[in-house]
Amino acid sequence: MSAATANPDALELAEDAPGRPARLRWIGQPLVVVAMVVGVVAYVQLAHLDAVAARQLNLAALMERTWEHIVLAAVSTAVVLVIALPLGVILTRRRTRVAAPVIVAFANIGQSAPAIGLLVLLALWLGLGFTTTIIALAAYAILPVLRNTITGIQGVDPNLVEAGRGMGMSAMRVLLRIEVVLAVPVILAGVRVALVLLVGTATLATFIDGGGLGSLITTGITLQRTSVLVVGAVLVAALALFIDWLGRVVEEVARPKGM
């Protein structure tokens, strides 16, 4: 194997098969996102909305909610990366790998628990607001990155690791120049899964005063304004599709040559 071995434990969205379907996905997915956003903008500009819906769906308010949603997903992803990447690497070392199943099982609790329940419990403990939302989202999304980091590094061909050691490379250089590099595709797949999860789960942030596009959805339900509800849902879907496409682009660019 020239790279990380395929492992059923790794969380990975569907690989693009070579050929026309893959090319259509590379081009079609961003076009769908653009069409969704243009459709939303055209709707809020041209539709005859009552005063309540118009106040919720003006472009300034939509941009503010979208930016809040992006910040929630970006900051919580950064927290996940800071925790999960080094922890995943540590758990692949000889002296600490015995703890990997326990740590992964603990991380699995965060994702297995209902997201809304986790948000509410943390809000009762830490209070409402942005910080509590970030902690809850990070706890919910840490598993894909942690597990794929462990799986990716453990899947590297041992012969390549031994070859590096035989060339006189230190343990740190073997880790950084061989193991991590070859595990990059699996790790990035985990990051992409976490990002898509976070974009969807961040809609629940509105329940603990975290902001984001979820406020449009809850407002639409509460005030019985279907237009507000649908616009919020379409923008969340468009953002998730865009993040998924962007993650695939980063995976392709960062993939080591020949893999």
| Residue spans per domain, the chain | 53-254
199 CB contacts (<8 Å, ≥6 apart)?
69, 73, 236, 239, 240, 243
Q: Which two tokens stand for residue 246?
A: 């962007």
Residue ranges of the chain whose pLDDT lies below 50: 1-8, 13
Identify the pLDDT of residue 90: 93
Identify the pLDDT of residue 51: 86
Nearest to 243 by CA among 211, 205, 200: 200
CA dist 152 and 150 (Å) reads 6
Architecture category of domain 53-254 in CATH = Orthogonal Bundle (1.10)
27 CB contacts (<8 Å, ≥6 apart)?
none
35 CB contacts (<8 Å, ≥6 apart)?
none
CA dist 156 and 128 (Å) reads 43
Identify the pLDDT of residue 106: 81
Identify the pLDDT of residue 6: 46
